[in-house]
């Protein structure tokens, strides 16, 4: 908790905290290649999507096709990777030890072996147990990946900031732990695993486990410190009273492009790849009445993002629960856009976002430039092209309307007596955006973002009509 008296002290503390975080240490944690990590080599990938049959054949095939498409998208995200072949297999137990039935497994093994150039098989399940990973690897003679290791690899390639790097290092811990357990079991079979290290009273396995635990604690405490810093920034932001608008949606739908278009922030880099944005970043933009709002760029959704990965990244979504408004961006040119919408809304519900905020969602249909004559059926939905900057004025008006509705804040220009305490009061109770036209009569036009309640008090206090 920060109990400093002035903002200045807070700032100093912020810097102190920053110093406590050893940059080199974070880099070391991150660079330490985990044994299962994939490296930078080129891969030609065979994708297997095992799925349990459910509903009608059509329903089954539709969902399986969406998930296969996502799997292909994941592989293509990596610039020197490509898909050589793909297959959907129905299975009874996709998450169990034996994923494939005997017949299926044999047929699959023959197919993989007969595929020229293949260097890896991506089995599209959340996690493979280390033993089945090993078994499949031996049968197919190539690297075997599950969604956890692949998504982690993609995150690793895209991580830029300290927080993202730490979160990835944390997400790797379960992989390291299960690998360690596996190795210990192997050593035990050979009769060496439980031997004590001379004089230490610990076995090798116990030492390794302890080191891993220490690594985890180190990462967690570094993350906690960053998080506290973010809380502080957030409370300072709140104090400034700028409305906060979170921009959310499926990965690659155009969130970053849209924020760039709304704010003109040249530092933003949209990319045609999944998970280009791994950190929550905040960018200021102006609405038609010149009210300043802060747009929060967020990590994109994916229908089957592994749970543990979501856990380590959910903290980054904390900011969203504190926003005033959500914009849900949809890539309307994507063949699975409807399923994607359902998925995003489900994730939002699971994030325990307040009801008020869920009701405030503005749905935006992006990439309309890719569909000739696109028309939305719903008057509440705003069609845009973030890339071509079409529809942005209408969107800004809609955002402003919603901000006023949900926050009670509006932009006003007030005529203020400079020889009274009016201006000081406004600085304290509202957000002063500009002070203009200081004339001879000692008045100024002051542009403020002010809540209805504060404006009521202002009028009463200074007897303004």
Ligand X SMILES: Nc1nc2c(ncn2[C@@H]2O[C@H](COP(=O)(O)OP(=O)(O)OP(=O)(O)O)[C@@H](O)[C@H]2O)c(=O)[nH]1
Q: Is 279 in the site for ligand X (CB under 6 A)?
A: no
- What's the DSSP call for residue 370? G
Looking at the Cβ atoms of 149 and 256, the one nearer to ligand X is 256
Q: How far is the CB of 275 from ligand X (least distance, A)?
A: 5
Residue 228, both tokens: 């506290």
Identify which of residues 50 and 254 has a Cβ nearer to ligand X in the complex.
Answer: 254
Q: Report strand pairing: 325-331 vs 244-249.
A: parallel
Angle (deg, nearest 10), helices 23-31 and 204-240: 130
Nearer to ligand X, 210 or 388 (CB): 388
Among 36, 124, 203, 277, binds ligand X (CB under 6 A): 277
**Is the Cβ of residue 127 or residue 260 nearer to Mg ion in the bound state?**
260
Q: Of these, 370, 371, 453, 464, which contacts ligand X (CB under 6 A)?
A: 370
Stretch that binds ligand X, among 44-52, 223-231, 381-389, 447-455 (CB under 6 A): 381-389
Is residue 276 close enough to count as binding ligand X by CB under 6 A?
yes
Interaction of residue 306 with ligand X, rule CB under 6 A: no
The one of ligand X, Mg ion, none whose footprint includes residue 252, by CB under 5 to 8 A per kind, is ligand X
Instruction: Give the span between the Cα atoms of 70 and 308, in whole angstroms.
Output: 19
The torsion angle over the Cα atoms of residues 437, 443, 447 and 451, rounded to 10 degrees, is 180
| By CB under 6 A, residue 38 contacts ligand X | no
Binding site for Mg ion (CB under 5 A): 255-256, 276-277
| Beta carbon nearer to ligand X, 36 or 385 | 385
Are the C-beta atoms of residues 268 and 285 closer than 8 Å to each other? Answer: no
Q: For Mg ion, give the closer residue by CB, 36 or 256.
A: 256
Q: How far is the CB of 255 from Mg ion (least distance, A)?
A: 5
> Which CB sits closer to ligand X, 124 or 257?
257
> Does 367 carry a binding-site annotation?
yes
8 A C-beta contact, residue 429 and residue 457: yes
- DSSP structure class, residue 274: T
**Residue 50 touches ligand X, criterion: CB under 6 A:** no
251 belongs to an annotated ligand binding site: yes
* Minimal distance, residue 255 CB to ligand X, in Å: 4
Q: Does 264 count as an annotated binding residue?
A: no
Report the residue from 275, 313, 455, 458 that binds ligand X according to the rule CB under 6 A: 275
One of 78, 253, 325, 344 touching ligand X (CB under 6 A): 253
In the complex, minimum distance from the CB of residue 72 to ligand X, in angstroms, rounded to a whole number: 16
Known binding residue 278? Answer is yes
251 touching ligand X, by CB under 6 A: yes
Tell the smallest beta-carbon distance from residue 387 to ligand X (Å): 3
Measured CA to CA in angstroms, residue 207 lies from 68, 182, 184, 191 at distances of 41, 15, 12, 17
Residue among 203 and 246 whose Cβ is closer to Mg ion: 246
Q: Does 254 interact with ligand X (rule: CB under 6 A)?
A: yes
**Shortest Cβ 280–ligand X spacing (Å):** 11
**CB 392 within 8 Å of CB 419:** no
Element (H, E) at 212: helix 204-240
The Cα 143–Cα 137 span in angstroms is 6
Burial 165-194 (b: 16+ CB within 10 A, else e): bbbbbbbbbbbbebebeebbeebeeeeeee
According to DSSP H, which parts of 78-161 are helical? Answer: 102-114, 130-140, 147-158
Secondary element (H or E) of residue 45: strand 43-51
Q: Where are the alpha helices (DSSP H) in 408-451?
A: 422-429
97 binds ligand X per the rule CB under 6 A: no
Residue nearest to Mg ion (CB): 277
Question: Between 370 and 376, whose beta carbon lies closer to ligand X?
Answer: 370
Which CB, 206 or 369, lies closer to ligand X?
369
Question: Which of residues 84, 332, 386, 399 is near ligand X by CB under 6 A?
Answer: 386
How does strand 292-297 pair with strand 281-286? antiparallel
Our CA angle for 14, 18, 20, nearest 5°, is 120
| Residue selected from 85, 126, 206, 369 as contacting ligand X according to rule CB under 6 A | 369
**263 interacts with ligand X by CB under 6 A:** no
Q: Is 256 annotated as a binding residue?
A: yes
- The answer to the question of residue 392 lying near ligand X (CB under 6 A) is no
CA distances from 130 to 52, 88, 137, 139, 306 (A): 22, 22, 10, 14, 16
Q: How far is CA 380 from the centre of its chain?
A: 26
| CA–CA separation, 247 and 254 (whole Å) | 10
Q: Whole-number minimum distance, CB 76 to Mg ion, in Å?
A: 17
Among all residues, whose Cβ is closest to ligand X? 300
- Is 408 within any annotated ligand binding site? no
Q: Distances from the Cα of 314 to the Cαs of 167, 275, 277, in angstroms? A: 10, 14, 14
Residues annotated within a binding site for GTP: 249-256, 275-279, 297-300, 366-369, 385-387
Binding residue numbers for Mg(2+)? 256, 277
Instruction: Catalog residues that contact ligand X under the rule CB under 6 A.
Output: 249, 251-257, 270-272, 274-277, 300, 366-367, 369-370, 385-387
């Amino acid at each position: 908790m920060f109990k400093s008296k002035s903002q200045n002290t807070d700032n100093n503390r912020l810097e102190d905290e920053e110093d406590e975080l050893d940059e080199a240490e974070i880099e070391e944690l991150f660079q330490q290649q985990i044994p299962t990590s994939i490296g930078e080599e080129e891969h030609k990938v065979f994708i297997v999507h095992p799925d349990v049959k459910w509903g009608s054949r059509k329903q089954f095939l539709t969902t399986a096709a969406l998930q296969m498409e996502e799997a292909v998208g994941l592989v293509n995200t990596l610039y020197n990777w490509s898909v050589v072949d793909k297959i959907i297999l129905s299975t009874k137990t996709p998450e169990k030890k034996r994923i494939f039935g005997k017949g299926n497994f044999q047929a699959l093994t023959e197919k993989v072996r007969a595929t020229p150039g293949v260097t890896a098989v991506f089995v599209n399940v959340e996690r493979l147990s280390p033993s089945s990973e090993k078994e499949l690897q031996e049968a197919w003679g190539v690297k075997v990946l599950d969604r956890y290791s692949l998504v982690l690899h993609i995150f690793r390639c895209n991580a830029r900031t300290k927080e993202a790097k730490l979160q990835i290092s944390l997400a790797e811990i379960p992989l390291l732990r299960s690998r360690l357990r596996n190795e210990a079991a192997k050593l035990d079979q050979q009769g060496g695993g439980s031997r004590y290290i001379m004089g230490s009273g610990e076995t090798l396995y116990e030492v390794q486990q302890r080191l891993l635990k220490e690594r985890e604690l180190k990462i967690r405490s570094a993350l906690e410190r960053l998080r506290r810093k973010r809380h502080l920034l957030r409370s300072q932001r709140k104090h400034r009273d700028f409305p906060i608008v979170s921009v959310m949606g499926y990965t690659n739908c155009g969130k970053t492009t849209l924020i760039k278009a709304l704010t003109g922030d040249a530092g933003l880099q949209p990319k045609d790849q999944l998970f280009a944005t791994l950190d929550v970043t905040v960018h200021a933009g102006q609405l038609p009445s010149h009210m300043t709002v802060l747009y929060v760029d967020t990590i994109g959704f994916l229908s089957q993002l592994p749970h543990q990965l979501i856990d380590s990244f959910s903290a980054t979504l904390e900011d969203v629960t504190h926003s005033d408004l959500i914009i849900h961006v949809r890539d309307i040119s994507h063949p699975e856009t409807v399923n994607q919408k359902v998925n995003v809304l489900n994730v939002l519900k699971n994030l325990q976002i307040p009801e008020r905020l869920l009701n405030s969602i503005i749905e935006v249909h992006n990439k309309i430039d890719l569909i000739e004559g696109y028309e939305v059926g719903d008057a509440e939905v705003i069609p845009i092209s973030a890339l071509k900057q079409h529809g942005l004025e209408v969107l800004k008006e809609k955002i402003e309307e919603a901000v006023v509705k949900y926050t009670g804040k509006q932009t006003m220009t007030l005529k203020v007596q400079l020889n009274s305490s009016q201006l000081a009061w406004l600085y304290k109770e509202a957000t002063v955006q500009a002070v203009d036209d200081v004339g001879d009569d000692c008045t100024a036009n002051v542009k403020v973002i002010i809540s209805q309640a504060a404006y009521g008090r202002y009028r009463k206090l200074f007897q303004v009509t």
